[in-house]
Amino acid sequence: MAVSARGSGDTPDFESLDDDLAQSSSKSASKSGKPRGKHVREKHQGHPFWRGLREIVFIVVIALVMSALIRAFLIQAFYVPSASMDDTLRPGDRIIASKITTNISGVDRGEIVVFKDPGDWLPAQVPAPDNWRTNVRQAMTFIGLLPSDSGDDLVKRVIGIGGDRVACCDAEGRIVVNGVPLDEDYIIGPTDQVRFDITVPEDSMFVLGDNRGDSRDSRYHLEANDGAVPFENAVGRVFVVVWPFDRFAIERIPSIFGNPALDG
């Protein structure tokens, strides 16, 4: 091994020493048959097929987790189960409800809201068969890949909230809220099947279907909480119809609910 001198002293050339050590290490690796450097990395990385498969599985898992979180906290899809909201919503429509809007801003008049059955509004449900199809469907619904059809969700329009006086009806058959008659151009049929005059309990909402002749809503449950549904039962505000495509629509609050007189 050569050592060169620099200047007037006998200082070793460390660059030459490094080169000699590298060559010696390379020869030893060749004799032992053990790969080094780039070859080791390539071996540990594995076949491109398995690398790609791992990446796909990772992406799918992340997507499913994100979907479940979105369903739990932000928005959720639902089927419309009946004709009680015709023509605004029709049976079989797929709708999206905003959970975060309801959680942050609460419930307001004029909103279409999905809510949990407050008690005996719906008939008893026949349990789904315990088989793999049911399990797969429940799993896909849980992660948000299918709309919810649990059988205990309802969808109606909020007419009054806590403290509002809601009555049926004036001489023209209109619902009256805080003394203001509502000209509801979105409804089907008359509203006066049941006469009432109530004050909505606090932290509750009085709800009616847009298809007044075919909706078992707050009018038919006046014996409990004056027919009102507790806010805590609200799941989310319906803001869009996404299926079928020819019925795609953004669901806005009708302008009549913007009347300042409703606030007394």
Digit-coded pLDDT (tens) for 23-44: 554 444 444 454 454 444 455 4
pLDDT of residue 202 exceeding 50, the answer is: yes
**Residue 69: inside a domain, yes or no?**
no
Task: Give the CATH number, domain containing residue 112.
Answer: 2.10.109.10
- Whether residue 190 is contained in a domain is answered as yes
In a domain? residue 23: no
Residue 149: its pLDDT value, please? Answer: 64
Quick check: is 37 in a domain?
Answer: no
Q: Kindly tell me the burial class for residue 34, based on how many C-beta atoms sit within 10 Å of its own C-beta (0-12, 13-18, 19 or more).
A: exposed
Global pTM reads 0.73
Structure confidence at residue 247 (pLDDT): 94
Domain interval for residue 97: 74-124+134-254
Question: Which residue's entry shows tokens 């739990």?
Answer: 72
Average pLDDT, the chain: 81
- Output the CA torsion sign for 156, 162, 168, 171: negative
Task: Flag whether 22 is in a domain.
Answer: no
Average pLDDT of the residues in 45-66: 75
User: What pLDDT was estimated at residue 14?
Assistant: 42
In a domain, 50, yes or no: no
- Could you give the strand order of the β-sheet that contains 180-181, starting from the edge strand earlier in sequence? 180-181, 175-177, 165-168, 196-199
How many domains does the chain contain in total? 1
Contact yes or no for 187/211 (Cβ under 8 A): yes
